[in-house]
Structure 1
Amino acid sequence: MDVALVLVVAALALTFDFTNGFHDAANAIATSVSTRALTPRAALAMAAVMNFAGALMGTAVAETIAHEIIHIDDVGTRLTLVAVLAALVGAIVWNLITWWFGLPSSSTHALIGGLVGAGLAGGIAVYWSSIVEKVVLPMVFSPLVGFGIAFLVMVGVLWIFKNVAPSKASRRFRIAQTASAAAMALGHGLQDAQKTMGVMFLATTAIGWTMKGDPIPWEIKILAAAAISAGTATGGKRIMRTLGRRIIELDPARGFVAESVSAVVLYVNAFWLHAPVSTTHTITTAIMGVGATKRLSAVRWGVAKSIGMAWVLTIPAAAGVAAIVFWILHPLLG
């Protein structure tokens, strides 16, 4: 039974990874598509390739998910596997709900919320200090940093190119957006695919196939990278429309700055802070930051408010769904 549960967890984890790919594909390419720097087909193909490459660049975020959200050392194998299964269902359900309504919510926080909700429902200890340090604080500060730096960098770009003809500047930034979109897609793979690796590693550790402190097996890395890449290739037009046009009408210069700043924030959190931050939150607030350089009223704050509400609800909503699923599954499987 435990082996079967591990296989089900792995299948659901890859399903979550796939939904993460099409849910968050817009994070990397919406600005490039909206400014016509890239065609949707070319942008999706590029993003899929860069997502795959980014997924193989590190494991620090995966280890945070595997070892610093819920405490499984003194918990039975079956209880742990049912909790992880419930967490994945909670995250997938929230991803699909927000995708349906075109809201760019965080797949990262949906998964973490699912783990917390299932853990609490099963009486599994939660690493609250780690969650505050590596989830809550980055959740608050990364978007603020993305907004502030994007605003300042955009002001600098406007000053540097103030004497350049707008049409000439736009052509240059359309070309530059190919690089910035690729950097953003690489950061998305680096951050988001690792979360699936972490969940799968958590399941294999619970059953004893791997040990805490072991390197993450290459099979898990390849599967996670392939699933998010495939999901990205299918696109996410509903959310792409929200990020690319509904928050603010972007021009190539602002698209380039928003993508570049977001990519830097993702790399810093992955390589130095080992924090699983939301690519969605980061790019969305960066878009708001560059948009605010036109004038504050240029940003459609009503849309931003709806997105903000989805952000606030993500962790508790995913946790609630995961807890309900755990209470249903545990009597049947536990």
Structure 2
Amino acid sequence: MVALVIALALFFDFTNGFHDTANAMATPIATGAIKPKTAVTLAALLNLVGAFLSTEVAKTVSGGIIREGTDGVQITPEIIFAGLMGAILWNMITWLKGLPSSSSHALFGGLIGAAIAGIGFGSVNLETLMQKVILPAIFAPLIAGLVAYVCTRLAYALTSRHDPETGSKLTQKRGGFRTGQIFTSSLVALAHGTNDAQKTMGIITLVLIAAGTQAPGTGPQFWVIAACAFAIAIGTYSGGWRIIRTMGSGLTEVKPAQGFAAETSTASAILASSHLGFALSTTQVASGSVIGSGMGRKGTTVRWNMVGKIAVGWLFTLPAAGIVGALTALLVNTGVVGVLIAAIAGTGAVLFMFFYSRKSAVGHHNAVEVEEAGQAVRFAKKKAMARARAEAKAKAKADASAKANTKTPSTPHAAAETQAPADADATNSKETQR
């Protein structure tokens, strides 16, 4: 049972990786700062590195939200199995719909629902849940959105160019932000590894403690850290193109300065939460930052209907995953047969959603279709401007030729008329000399 839970936890880590790739790489892909395949490769490597940098969040998961047994409550591997099942199914559903929901809250919801159904309300540490999960979930996206809004306004104000004499607006040169996005998105990917990979480490540590193979209160072992790091890195490399499409173009049209501001805000919030041990939803922070940056740029619009859908997904993540976790816990508590039924049903649901998604596949070739359309528009504009310049040049040349023709007659008759007075003048001159 412990081996089954560890395998399931690593699969959840894999889904977390491809579910949250968009947090770091959606905006630089949308602006053309990084090519799609290069972006996911870079994100995978940095998630791998980030997973080794901190274990504070893992300790929060393993010894904070679900009690380990020090208060007389003992969680079992079966309960953790049920909680993971709820989290994985909710991750797959939201991925299929292209909604950037929180993998972290899906995990916590599944665990809480399974623990309550299998053990009772006393198994959940409500104080830790409120301080390190609920409150950050409410305030983190709001703070990140506000910071991204301010940063976007500053970025556009500081780089605005006007003619000093006439005051008219000049062509804005903000290409440096596109280069800067490479670094800010890399920082987000690194920060994601320091936060989200820790949650699976905490789950595996929790199951080892529940099985009696690790002392309560201890952190994750090295092999747990390494396994979780590679699992989330492989998942990140797999993409998650449906959510990348939503984050990159579904919320607002993203320009390089916006993307730079949003990624800076996201990375700052995630790194701070990792240091404090907050099990923050990186998806909520990234979404809040993109929305804030969209509101900060003049002339752009935020697609509030999509924001509403995402908000509904956030609202239902904890209870939905909790219900699935609770039902699975009731099933696995019946014995080995219940565990087998839950495992087979869960595997079947995951495979069904995967094959169903192939009917309308989204990959690196079409996840950035909006940016490609934008490039086509820019190409058309450049072509039209070049055509206009060529026409203006041809017209100027024709006008110059017409003026030259009026001064220098080109027809024989006109030349003869011009020559005749000249000949008459010459004759008169000779007569005068005589």
TM-score by length of 1: 0.95
Residue by residue, what CA displacement relative to the aligned partner does 1:217-249 show, whole Å, maximum 9, x if unpaired? Answer: 100000000000000000011000000001001
Q: Is the 8 A contact 1:69 1:115 kept in 2?
A: no
Residue by residue, what CA displacement relative to the aligned partner does 1:247-296 show, whole Å, maximum 9, x if unpaired? Answer: 0010011001101110000011110x210101100010100001002359
Distance 1:85 1:296 in 2: 49
| Equivalent in the alignment of 2:216 | 212
| Equivalent in the alignment of 2:308 | 305
Residue by residue, what CA displacement relative to the aligned partner does 1:64-106 show, whole Å, maximum 9, x if unpaired? Answer: 0001111130345xx5111100000000000000000000000
Residue 27 of structure 2 aligns with an amino acid whose one-letter code is T
Residue 20 of structure 1 aligns with an amino acid whose one-letter code is N
Alignment CA distance shift 1:37-1:82 (3 Å): same
Alignment partner of 1:162: what SS?
coil
Residue by residue, what CA displacement relative to the aligned partner does 1:13-65 show, whole Å, maximum 9, x if unpaired? Answer: 00000000011111110000000000001100100000001111010000000
Q: Is the 8 A contact 1:269 1:276 kept in 2?
A: yes
Alignment CA distance shift 1:311-1:166 (3 Å): farther
Residue 48 of structure 1 aligns with an amino acid whose one-letter code is A
Which residue of 27, 31, 39 corresponds with 2:27?
A: 31
Distance 1:284 1:80 in 2: 35
Alignment CA distance shift 1:166-1:61 (3 Å): farther
Distance 1:190 1:166 in 2: 40
| Equivalent in the alignment of 1:161 | 159
1:262 aligns with 2:233: no
| Equivalent in the alignment of 1:198 | 202
| Equivalent in the alignment of 1:281 | 284
Mark the runs of 5 or more structure 1 residues left unpaired by the alignment: none
Which residue of 218, 228, 252 corresponds with 1:224?
A: 228
Distance 2:14 2:172 in 1: 39
Deviation of 1:213 after TM superposition, in Å, equals: 2.6
Distance 2:116 2:31 in 1: 45
Residue 117 of structure 1 aligns with an amino acid whose one-letter code is G
Residue by residue, what CA displacement relative to the aligned partner does 1:172-205 show, whole Å, maximum 9, x if unpaired? Answer: 1111000001000011111110000000000011
Distance 1:159 1:296 in 2: 14
Deviation of 1:167 after TM superposition, in Å, equals: 5.5
Q: Is the 8 A contact 1:54 1:189 kept in 2?
A: yes
Distance 2:65 2:217 in 1: 15
Alignment partner of 1:292: what SS?
helix
Report how many aligned residue pairs link the two structures: 326
Alignment partner of 2:207: what SS?
helix
Deviation of 1:214 after TM superposition, in Å, equals: 2.3
Residue 216 of structure 1 aligns with an amino acid whose one-letter code is P
Q: Which moved more, 1:129-138 or 1:287-296?
A: 287-296
Q: Is the 8 A contact 2:16 2:235 kept in 1?
A: yes
Residue 218 of structure 2 aligns with an amino acid whose one-letter code is D
Distance 1:168 1:119 in 2: 56
Higher Cα Rg, which structure: 2
Alignment partner of 2:218: what SS?
coil
Residue by residue, what CA displacement relative to the aligned partner does 1:142-183 show, whole Å, maximum 9, x if unpaired? Answer: 0010011111111111111112865631x2111100000100
Distance 1:41 1:166 in 2: 32
Distance 1:188 1:19 in 2: 14
Distance 1:214 1:117 in 2: 24
Q: Which moved more, 1:209-218 or 1:8-17?
A: 209-218
> Percent of aligned pairs with the same residue?
39
Q: CA RMSD in A?
A: 1.4
Q: Is the 8 A contact 2:258 2:297 kept in 1?
A: no
Distance 1:240 1:166 in 2: 30
Residue 326 of structure 1 aligns with an amino acid whose one-letter code is A
Residue 16 of structure 1 aligns with an amino acid whose one-letter code is F
Alignment partner of 1:310: what SS?
helix
Q: Is the 8 A contact 1:20 1:228 kept in 2?
A: yes
Q: Is the 8 A contact 2:159 2:172 kept in 1?
A: no
- Please give the residue correspondences for 1:115-134 in structure 2 after superposition, counting only pairs within 5 Å: 115-124=111-120, 125-134=123-132
Q: Is the 8 A contact 1:106 1:280 kept in 2?
A: yes
| Equivalent in the alignment of 1:327 | 330
Q: Is the 8 A contact 1:72 1:80 kept in 2?
A: no
Distance 1:166 1:269 in 2: 40
Deviation of 1:123 after TM superposition, in Å, equals: 2.0
Distance 2:188 2:300 in 1: 27
| Equivalent in the alignment of 1:152 | 150
1:290 aligns with 2:290: no
